[in-house]
Chains A and B, each alone.
Chain A
Amino acid sequence: MLGTLRQKILGQSLQRTRSAASALRSYSSAAKEMMVRDALNSALDEEMSADPKVFLMGEEVGEYQGAYKISKGLLEKYGPERVLDTPITEAGFTGIGVGAAYYGLRPIVEFMTFNFSMQAIDHIINSAAKSNYMSSGQISVPIVFRGPNGAAAGVGAQHSQCYAAWYAACPGLKVLCPYSSEDARGLLKAAIRDPDPVVFLENELLYGESFPVSAEVLDSSFCLPIGKAKIEREGKDVTITAFSKMVGYALKAAEILAKEGISAEVINLRSIRPLDRSTINASVRKTNRLITVEEGFPQHGVGAEICTSVIEESFGYLDAPVERIAGADVPMPYAANLERMAVPQVEDIVRAAKRACYRSVPLAAAA
């Protein structure tokens, strides 16, 4: 298919321009702040403008301006052929998006929350993730599935699950989790340009948060590499890995720990699949202690995978057992006080870091 070939060549030359641009990075402090919501909106806008094959599809994305206003203004700018309001059929519009991607378009399928993606998960896994392999390269699926993931505030069990571990288990998918506005812009652009299917897990509570952005981030060619984690805060005593909202909590925990003389290194994973094992391991070899933080259920979670990776590659460097902090092993309760106890809080991270540094009594072994 000549179209795909042309896209591949174009993609490669784009990559070269991008890496040139990042080499000219300026380190001036940014005066500009940007909300994550606006970061995502601008990324969508710019990518749709740059490539006519990109289109957005989902419930309420058009007339309503997006259930969370992420696609504000896009219907007006690009028209109903490129911003499609769909009926309430996740399985339907996901399958349709995959079909459009098979043909060569670059759809962005929005789920109102990733909880609803379960109704379409057959298409995400069996039709999107595995197609390139099953067709041995004849059918590529350059699609992005995006939407809010994980716990919000008072939305109950069926609207609060984190799907990072589920999707990251599947070969053929790439799974990204932005935290800051820079992450949101750079990773979403990378996802849209990527020829493989990407699951892009946002966070509803982060949409309204503002982060400083540099001029480079605001440039329309800005893009972050997929598969590279970011060291948000350097440290030497304990490594804390986190993604999405938990990065903010980990940074707050690091502040508290600093006052007590523990220097924590906070890694923002950014990419759950592929996982940046080399950055994580390099950090653990430096600090010798590891805490993994995630909002999702503990069993078979992201932390379990990180722990195994470190044991496989850096066992000799560990001075303390790896500890994983995750959400409680229960469906998310609704009542505010119970909900607070079902997700990790800053204090949980602080206590775990202290345990890893032998500054407090270790937890009794769980039954």
Chain B
Amino acid sequence: MALCLKTSRISIHCLKSKMGLLSMIKQDSCLSSLTHPQKPPFPTRNAQNFRDPDANFRMSATLFSARRLKSVKAEKQFCSLDNVDHNQVLDLPGGKVVLTPEMRFISESPEERAQCYRVLDNDGQLIMCSNFKKVGEEIAVKMYTDMVTLQTMDAVFYEAQRQGRISFYATTIGEEAINIASAAALTTDDLVFPQYREPGVLLWRGFTLQEFANQCFGNKADYGKGRQMPIHYGSNKLNYFTVSATIATQLPHAVGAAYSLKMDRRNACVITYFGDGGSSEGDFHAALNFAAVMEVPAIFFCRNNGWAISTPTSDQFRSDGVVVRGRGYGVRSIRVDGNDALAIYSAVHAAREMAISEHRPILIEAITYRVGHHSTSDDSTKYRPVDEIEWWRSARDPVARFRKWIESNGWWCSEAESELRNNVREQLLHAIQVAEKIEKPPLAELFMDVYDVPPSNLCEQEKLLGETVRRNPQYYPPDVSL
């Protein structure tokens, strides 16, 4: 599906982007001199250098004509053993293996790092001859408005936590494209198993700002009945499984659910999200392995944002990121630019098709940066440079980048922008005010849902507690009903 735009305007853009890249090289070499205060210098070949992510993009830009991804088929690996007598083959239970007299260890790192798929350049312009799934105006504008809404929601709720109105919050700043574009490429029938930095998927599917606020305030209208901390959203209706704080446990769950979808012969897949840190968990290994063996329609989406709280990826793993591990399990994989909404949209769209029609898992690694702190309990300036954070927040903002693209198509303008931002901010402030005033869940809810049917001991305890409260109302908060 090659898309070659031959208008002169685009050629100029291509030229510009090439020139831009040249100037970027100069800029990036400054950035790469920003070394992490406590880390010894790593050879750039092996390190996931977050100060110079454009290294990947540069490589792909200069080689794009030769290495353009023509289709969504997996690349073939060519056998490059020279001194092999092809009659020397070993028959193993798992299949045939070619023998060789050469003792050659497979290198711990590839000659080249896995390339990163990108459609829009840093200025939000389509890269010449980029191969992507087209997005119409309606979807593109909804994607953009949802990205802005997510960004604004994060800002407002973060403020609310700082003011003491909610107890906790975790932002998704820098990962808006991942959240919204991946959701846009799926249908609501596809099941979502999130980690905790994917509220945008819920937003895309129709979760309202009021519903988000209700969960954060843990009030009576919260679907979680105030049982969990803020940001632990869930919605049966929207096929989004309730956030659980345990890391990477959702990966095997996703495989189990995908297996169930396969058994039911549904035209749907499962998508599960996790971070670079989550990929170190044992559950990651178990889930990918099983998904491949059981041949299930599951998309494993890794948000490689460079940091697991304070642990940089150089301390997390020594592989070339997460994408290369897919091959280790027999899982087809791709690396995408996590700040490029169109690239994510295309990759997830293709992955979904493959997953459902071919009954196979797909691994997508999106390279991005966690601009915000890990959560409101974290101050990331303690372990990374402030200018690094600020650079990613401004120069690499995925929202601004996508805005440039839709504006260049004539689908957006600055009036619409200010109207949207003001509107959303007002709605959020209103939602917070409303959520704050709604009553908390009644005391009776404390004992419900432990089991399907409340057991007798809990019924008894609820009765006793009710009696105690009625006898001593002065010790009991007035805004919580029984």
Contacts and interface: CB of A to CB of B under 8 A. Distances in A.
Interface of A: 1, 55, 81, 84, 86-87, 89, 91-105, 107, 122-123, 126-127, 131-140, 171-172, 174, 194-196, 227, 274
Given A99-B253, A138-B242, A139-B242, A91 B449 contact: no
B450 A172 contact: yes
Contacts of B260: 99-100, 103-105
A136 B449 contact: yes
Q: Which of A84, A95, A102 has the most chain B CB within a 10 Å cutoff?
A: A95
A98 B286 contact: no
Contacts of A194: 452
A132 B252 contact: no
Given A100-B259, A132-B451, A135-B224, A89 B253 contact: no
Nearest to A1: B236
Interface in B424-478: 445, 448-452, 455-457
Contacts of B282: 91
A194 B451 CA distance: 10
Contact of A99 (B232, B242, B256, B457): B256
Interface stretch (B19-27, B162-170, B287-295, B358-366): B287-295
Contacts of B285: 89, 92
Contacts of B191: 103
Interface in B245-261: 246, 249, 251-261
A104 B264 CA distance: 11
B256 A174 contact: no
Given A98-B253, A103-B260, A134-B228, 6 more contacts: A86-B290, A95-B249, A95-B287, A96-B253, A138-B236, A138-B242
Contacts of A122: 246, 249
B134 interface: no
A137 B252 contact: no
Nearest to B272: A99
B228 A132 contact: no
A140 B452 CA distance: 8
A92 B253 contact: no
B257 A102 contact: yes
A171 B448 contact: no
A89 B249 contact: no
A196 B451 contact: yes
21 contacts: A87-B289, A87-B290, A91-B252, A92-B287, A95-B287, A96-B252, A96-B287, A96-B290, A98-B256, A99-B257, A102-B253, A103-B261, A123-B249, A127-B246, A127-B249, A133-B227, A133-B449, A133-B450, A134-B232, A137-B448, A140-B452
Q: Which of B234, B252, B259, B287 has the most chain A CB within a 10 Å cutoff?
A: B252
Nearest to A139: B242
Contacts of B234: 135, 138-139
Contact of B257 (A81, A103, A140, A227): A103
B256 A137 contact: no
A135 to B, nearest CB: 4
A127 B253 contact: yes
B223 interface: yes
B283 A95 contact: yes
Contacts of A133: 227, 449-450
A94 B282 CA distance: 13
Contacts of B256: 95-103, 105, 107
A84 to B, nearest CB: 8
B428 to A, nearest CB: 24
A137 B449 CA distance: 6
B49 interface: no
Contacts of B225: 136
A95 B253 contact: yes
B451 A172 contact: yes
A102 B252 contact: no
Nearest to B446: A133
B157 interface: no
A91 B232 CA distance: 23
Nearest to A142: B452
B286 A134 contact: no
B316 interface: no
Nearest to B254: A99
Nearest to A126: B246
B359 to A, nearest CB: 12
B244 interface: yes
A92 B254 CA distance: 11
A253 B193 CA distance: 53
B273 interface: no
A172 to B, nearest CB: 6
A92 B283 contact: yes
Contacts of B74: none
A269 B294 CA distance: 39
Interface in B385-402: none
Q: Which of B223, B261, B289, B455 has the most chain A CB within a 10 Å cutoff?
A: B455
A127 B290 contact: no
B158 to A, nearest CB: 24
Given A137-B449, A139-B234, A172-B451, A94 B252 contact: yes
B289 A126 contact: no
Nearest to A55: B263
Contacts of A102: 241, 253, 256-257
Contact of A92 (B232, B236, B246, B252): B252
Q: Which 6 interchain pairs have the tightest Cβ spacing?
A: A92-B286, A95-B252, A99-B256, A99-B253, A100-B256, A96-B256
A65 B252 CA distance: 25
A137 B450 CA distance: 9
